[in-house]
Structure 1
Amino acid sequence: MLNGAFRPDEQVCSLRSYRRQRDTLVGYRASHIQHMQKALRQMNLLLDNVVTDITGKTGMTIIRAILNGQRNPVELARYRDKHCKKSEEEIAKSLKGHYRDEHVFALRQAVELYDTYDEKIRACDKALEQKLNTFDSKDDKDSQKPSTPDKPSKKRKSRCAPDFDVRSELNRVSGVDLTDIDGIDENTALKIVSEIGLDMSRWPSAKHFASWLGLCPGTKISGGKVLNRKTKRLPGAAATAFRLAAYSLTRSKSALGAYYRRMRSKLGAPKAITATAHKLARLVYSMLKHGSQYVDEGQEYFEQRYRERVLKTLKQKAKDMGFTLTPVETAVG
């Protein structure tokens, strides 16, 4: 009489394994970035003060030049990429250090290990792309649906995203563009699809889906009395992806960003993240199950609807108490 635990079909399970292996390698590569940073600091080379990411084009070019024997700060600063915000003079000031052999040795090993894991991640990217190519296209199943060209994404590509057009592939296999939802980039969309699959019929409704993710209030009730409404702690990868997407909306000018900030001021950050992740999960469920598209109505639209709801509540309370609300005209000028 118990329902079986959720398990995607074999095709999705295979995709999930490739994606999880890739995430593991990304974590290992990040450790060696920290080792590179430590070796640079030990040599008093403050490269991270002048570049946003030491593994970017400017940072790695300078690091490889150091490993090749270059020690002159002015010469090293000339490897600055034209898009770098700092000038060559500023970069040269941060590269005046002492190049002890043991620290250079540690830096060299960290770079070699970084390159090794970077190569393995690229191999995972190819495997992911090949696996996605085996999925059936949604357009093939619904020939009556007019095909529309993919619109360019307004979101920046994440540094941790796979090295192929993930967005187009996911659009093809799902029939919808999950990256239209604010907070969900192509890497997050790939994580979600690889964890939950494309068949939403496994959950009768969006409420069941949110409950399975552990993103809904708890129902600890005894004798008809609610004892606890805390959200269940379920360490699922899909729920974590939704929570991270919700947290990324902190400064978003979208309706979802306004919703998160409203909930944060009311409930605090942890509960606001859960509430926003719950809303994101319902949107993803609706898009994958019904093929609907998401359109952001904007921050101003959300704030206007919030004001209307508050005003309606105030009017009803005043009416119940025998009063009438009268707007106050403010003088202009």
Structure 2
Amino acid sequence: MDTYYSHCAGLDVHKKTVVACRVFPGPDGKDIQQVRTFATMTADLLELSDWLAEVGIAQVAMESTGEYWKPVYNLLENNFELWLVNARHIKQVPGRKTDVKDSEWIAQLLQCGLLTKSFVPPLPQRELRELCRHRANFIRERATQINRVQKTLEGMNIKLASVASDVMGVSARAMLAALVEGKANASEMAELAKGRLRSKQELLERSLEGRVSAHQRFILSELLCQIDSIEETIARFDEQIVTYCLPFEEAVVHLDTIPGVARATAELIVSEVGTDMTRFATPGHLASWAGLCPGNNESAGKRFSGRTRPGNASLRAGLVQAAHAASRTKTYLGAQFRRLVVRRGKKRALLAVAHSILVIAYRLMERGEDYTDLGVDYFDKREPERLTRSLTKRLVSLGFEVSLTPTPKALA
């Protein structure tokens, strides 16, 4: 088999050790293969770097093993061309499963050009991505605590969530604070409502009548303290992310113009994808990397499951959430959702809208421009004859005799 890289190495990364195999040509032209095990402390990884550099290693490949590859990558990326590869792409040959054999196998595959690089963004983008992912974790934790508050209220037979759309809104929080203090009755707590919620005074008063014990007040108080603490943490993350987003601010502003995409989602897209679209050959390549396109599984003329691949879970979750918001708008994306949901179901329709949002984001960052909506009637204008046939057929099925006379507007 042809040799693509003469001086290369393979790393088998674990929590406590890294097994390295370096391959380089000897004086007689034959390859020399040397294997050595290093600890994962910083000093040991620097020793690994020196060991690889002393024979002129240029390319280094490693598996993406959990979180353990990150410190190795951070310490070696300035000295070598690093290849982070998917573990599924380098399955071990049966009967050769040891750490030493793993590193040798990775080095051999790299030397023969049989590995494919994973996308690892530059350091500023990795820092922004880590901040955005941790903010998302705290947002999920806040949602968990809010669900616990609702569960506690149900135990008290307080039906506030059945009347107020947001139990963490201004009015609801004031009522919960009064409930924790235990000094107000249902009618007094209902008077704390503000805005449109005041029109539901009688219903609020009935929902706030329950059986509340001291231990339930204590639990509710602690949960509300947890939620306040998490919200303060999220606010501090927001401040940090704004600072780290300054080099990408122009792209964030462009993405913020897409329906359903708030600034937080725009920051997430930039942190996961970056702004250099040359890394992805087409929007389709980006959608495949994100796991937002159908799977490709066909054999002997038969098409099997078209399930989407795992892809980038953080980006996918954020885009599906944006698709939820876009589905309720009177825009092209909203029209796309309503067009697909009837025959494909809600989940597939949302995934299709998320795919469209990602394709739009690719084009906006590629061109450096704001989003221009095609309009809620785009699909009707694209195929007016098809819509006419469909509506006519429906009227006929209802028992009407239909005769169509086009107006000047229809002819135009």
Q: TM-score range with shorter-chain normalisation?
A: 0.7 to 0.9
How much does 1:221 deviate? 4.2
Q: Give per-residue Cα distances to partners, 1:135-182, cap 9 Å, x unaligned.
A: 26xxxxxxxxxxxxxxxxxxxxxxxxxxxxxxxxxxx33275213222
Q: Deviations over 1:293-322 (max 9, x none)?
A: 32112122321213257789xxxxxxxxxx
**Bigger mean CA offset, 300-309 vs 3-12:** 300-309
Is the contact made by 1:242 and 1:280 (CA closer than 8 Å) also made in structure 2?
yes
- For 1:213 and 1:331, the matched residues in 2 are separated by 46
CA 1:72–1:127 in structure 2 vs 1: closer, same or farther (change >3 Å)? same
Distance 2:357 2:208 in 1: 45
Higher Cα radius of gyration: 2
Are residues 1:97 and 2:218 paired? no
Is contact 1:254-1:296 (8 Å) kept?
yes
Q: Supply the AA of the counterpart residue of 1:54.
A: V
Question: Match of 1:214, as an amino acid?
Answer: G
SS at match of 2:303: strand
Q: Deviations over 1:208-266 (max 9, x none)?
A: 2122122233333446x363471432142212322333344434321222222223334
CA contact (8 A) 2:254 2:365 kept: no
What does residue 148 of structure 1 align with? none
Q: Please show how residues 41-60 of structure 1 align to structure 2 within 5 Å.
A: 41-60=154-173
The aligned counterpart of 2:404 is 329
Contact 1:50 1:86 in 2 (8 A): no
Question: What does 1:112-261 align with in structure 2 at a 5 Å threshold?
Answer: 112-133=225-246, 135=247, 172-174=249-251, 176-222=253-299, 225=301, 227-228=303-304, 230-236=306-312, 237-261=314-338
Q: How far apart, in 2, do the equivalents of 1:268 and 1:82 lie?
A: 36
Does the CA-based 8 Å contact 1:219-1:226 persist in structure 2? no
Report SS of the residue matched to 2:227: helix
**What's the secondary structure of 1:287's corresponding residue?**
helix
CA distance in 2, matches of 1:69, 1:38: 19
Give the equivalent residue in structure 2 for 1:315: none
Partner Cα distance (1:50, 1:231) in 2: 39
Answering whether residue 109 of structure 2 is matched by residue 33 of structure 1, we say no
> Relative to 1, partners in 2 of residues 1:28 and 1:229: Cα closer, same or farther, differing over 3 Å?
closer
C-alpha contact (below 8 Å) 2:272/2:315 kept by paired residues: yes
Partners in 1 of 2:117 and 2:361 — Cα distance? Answer: 23
Letter in structure 1 aligned against 2:148:
H
Match of 2:199, SS state, is coil
Distance in 1, matches of 2:346 and 2:151, equals 32
Correspondence for 1:64: 177
Please tell me the root mean square deviation across aligned C-alpha atoms, in Å: 2.8
Report 1 or 2 for greater relative contact order, CA contacts < 8 Å, sequence distance ≥ 6.
Answer: 1
Structure 2 gap segments, 5+ residues each:
1-112, 390-401, 408-412
CA distance in 2 between partners of 1:73 and 1:61 (Å): 13
Aligned positions, number: 281
Question: Residue 320 of structure 2 contacts residue 350 of structure 2 at CA under 8 Å; is this kept in 1?
Answer: yes
Equivalent position amino acid for 2:230 in 1: Y
Q: 1:82 to 1:257 in 2, by over 3 A?
A: closer
Partner of 1:144 in structure 2? none
More strand by share: 2
